Amino acid sequence: MKKILTLLFVTLLSNWAWGQEKCLSHVYEQELRAKYPQYMGTQEDFERILAQKIEERKRLGSAARTGPYTIPVIIHVIYNNSSTTIANNSVNIPYGQAASQIRVLNEDFQKTNPDFSANVRAVFQPYAGDMDVTFVAATKDPNGNYLTEPGVERINGEERFGVAAWSTDQCNSTLKPGTYWDPSKYFNFWVVKFSGSNDTGLFGYAQFPSMTPGWGTSGGADNTDGVVINWRATGSNYDAAGNALSTPYVSSANLICSNCDKGRTATHEIGHWLGLRHTWGDQSGCSGPNFDDYCDDTPELSGASPVETNCVTARTKNSCTGVDAFYGSDVLDQIENYMDYSADGCMGMFSADQVARMEAVMDVAPNRASLTTPANISAVAPTRPNDLYVTIYAIGTTSGKEGDNFSFQQASQSEGLAAINSYTWNFDVDGIGGVSPATFSGATPPAVTFGSVGTYKVQLTVSNGTQSKSSNIITVTTTLKGPSSLQFTNKVGTGAAAKVVGQADLQWVDNSTSEDNYIVERKKNSEPTSAYVTLATLAANTTTYSDVYSSTNSVENGQSYNYRVTAKKGSSTASVTATIKVEFNQEVTAIEDAFSKEVSLYPNPAQTSFQVDLSKLQVNEASMVLFNTLGQKIMDKTLSNGVSEINVSKMPKGMYLLKINTNKGVALKRVIVD
C-alpha cells in the first residue's frame, strides 16, 4: 500500500508541478527515485555516499583529485515543421547559439565568466569556486561519422514523433528514449519547444546522477539522462567579452523573462546533473536538515522566490536573518549563485563547496565518471585526420525581397595542420550581380544586401597559407519588392467622402530595380479579385498613370473602385492596391457643357491635323493635354488665344480626349483620328 501511495503522490506531483517553477529538477529526481529505487536509491543514500567522498577528498587533498574532467556534449536541437529553417528566434537555433552555450558552460564552471567581478559581491568572491572541467563539442556521432556541426544534432520532432511542442511527460517517455546517445560517452542536451504555458514558463530540468554501479547496463533511466532546456533560454546574447550581440539569438520579446539571456539556465541545470541542489534545499524554512543544500558556504534561504530580473532589488534580499555559521555574521541572500532563481544577468558563481560536491560526483557516480575516461573521449572527440573543416550557416531566413539584408556565420577548424588565417566569402558565386558586398575577407561577414531578384549561392573558402577548402553552399532566394504608397494625386475630400472626379491620377513608389514592367488594373470594390481588368502595361520604373473616364471607359458614376499596380519580373510579381470613389460629372459630362461648346475643333474626325479655336473664350492663357482611351497622356501643348493647329498624322486611329485648361475653366472635347 505504501508503494502505491508513493507512486500516486509522485504522479500527482508531476501533473501539477511542471511549469509552476523555473526548474523542476528536484521533482523529476523524486519521480526517478520512486520509479527506479534499485538504481537511484534514496536521497539519504545519495547524500551519505557523496558526503563520504567529499570527506575523503578533503583528507587526501590534491591526491584525491581525478580531474581534469572533459565532458563531450551533444546538443539535440528538436525543431518542428514550422521551424525547418535554422534561424534566430526559433527552436531550430543557429549553430552560433549552440556554440555560445558550450562557451558559457566553460566560463561559468571554470570561473572565467567576464561578469564575475561585477555580479559577485565582495563578501562572496573569496568563496567562489572553479571546477576543473571542460565541456567540448562532440565531433563524431555514435556510428563514428563526423558531425557537420560539431556538438549539434538536428531532429524534426514533429516529423519523427508527430509532436510539435513537448510536454515534460512526452520528453521523458518519447523524445529522450528515442534520440539519446550513449550517456556513458556523451552528455545529452535537448533543446525543445515546450507545450502550453511551459513554452514561456519552464526554463528546463535535469536528471540527477545515480551512485549505483551498473546503472544503464540492466535497466534504469540511462535513456533519459541529460538536461532538457527551453529554446528561449538556450545560449547567450553576449560574446566572450561580455558585450551584447548586435543581433541577438533570442529577442527580448521571445525571452522567458528579461535579463535571462546569458545561457545560465543550462549552467543551473547541469549543476543539478552534477548533484547540486537549489540553495534553499527545496523546502521552506531557514534551518534544519530538510532545508539544506549540503554546502556550508551558501547562506540559508527561506525558500524559492520568483525569478528576480532586477539585480539591484535581488541584492537587497535577506530571507534568513541572524548570524550565518559559515560567515560569522548576518549575510544577504546569495542571489549571484547559479543554483538560485535570479535572472542570468544577476548570476556569477558556484561556491567552493558546490564545486567540491560536483567534482566528487564526477569521481563516484558511475554515469558521470565514465564520460571522462580517455577511451570515451578519444572515441567521441578524436583528432580528425589532417584536414581543414568549414561549414557556413545563415542567421535567420534564406528567402526574402530584393534589397533585404541577410547574415551568415561560419564554423571552421584546422586539424593537424597550420591554423586557418584566411577567410574569403563569395556571396554571388554565379555572378548574378546586385550584391553588396559581393565578396568579403574575414571570419565574421557583415550583413549582405541582395539587390536584385534571383537565386544566389553563398560560399566560404578558408586557407592556412598552404591548403584551402571551400564550404557547403547556401542558396538565397530573393523576390520582387513590390510598389508601395499607391495614392490618388487628384483626390478631393477625406475619409469616406474622398473621391476623384473625371479621372484617377495614380502615383506610387517604385521599390524595385528589377521589374520588367508594371501592370495597372481596376475592378469594382464589390467584385471579387478575379474581376480585375487590365488598363495598361507600363514600362519599368514608371510611377504614375491617369485613368481618364469617358464613354468608352466604362466606369459607373458614384461607384468605388479598386486599383491594383503590379510589378512583374518573369513569373515573380508584387502588387499594391488602393480604393477610391469615382465621379465624372465635372469631366465626361462636361464635354458638351456651355464652356466646352465655346471651343471650336475642326476637322473632326481628323486625318493629319485639326484646328483648335479659342477665340470665343477670350482667355489670356491655355494649355492642352491629349489622352488616349487607356488614360495615357499622348501630347501636351501650350495654346494661343486664337487658332492652334494640332498634328495627329503619326497617331493611331481612334477616339481621344482633349482637355483644355484655361484661366476661366476646363473644356473637354472628343477627337476622332481617322
Could you tell me which residues are beta bridge partners of residue 580?
Answer: 561
SS3 16: helix
Report which of 500, 534, 503, 506 is spatially closest to residue 520, judged by C-alpha positions: 534
Q: Count CB neighbours of 9 within 10 A.
A: 12
Give helix 264-273 / helix 95-109 axis angle, nearest 10°: 60
Output the DSSP codes for 309-373.
Answer: --HHHHTT--SS-S--TTTSS-----TTBTTSSB-GGG--BEEHHHHHHHHHHHHH-HHHHGGGS
C-alpha cell at 465: 597559407
142-146: long-range contacts, CB 8 A cutoff, minimum separation 24: 142/181, 142/182, 142/185, 142/186, 146/384, 146/389
Report which of 431, 432, 437, 433 is spatially closest to residue 449, judged by C-alpha positions: 437
- Residue with C-alpha cell 587533498? 61
Residue type, 282: D
Residue type, 467: Q
Report which of 83, 113, 85 is spatially closest to residue 100, judged by C-alpha positions: 113
SS3 244: strand
Q: Count CB neighbours of 653 within 10 A.
A: 10
The residues annotated with a catalytic role in the active site are 269
> How far is residue 516's CA from residue 42's CA, in Å, rounded to a whole number?
75
C-alpha cell at 291: 532545508
Helix or strand run (H / E) with residue 136: strand 133-137
Collect all residues with Cβ–Cβ distance below 8 Å to 5 and sequence separation of at least 6. none
Output the DSSP codes for 596-616.
Answer: HHTSEEESSSBSSEEEEE-GG
> How far is residue 119's CA from residue 111's CA, in Å, rounded to a whole number?
12
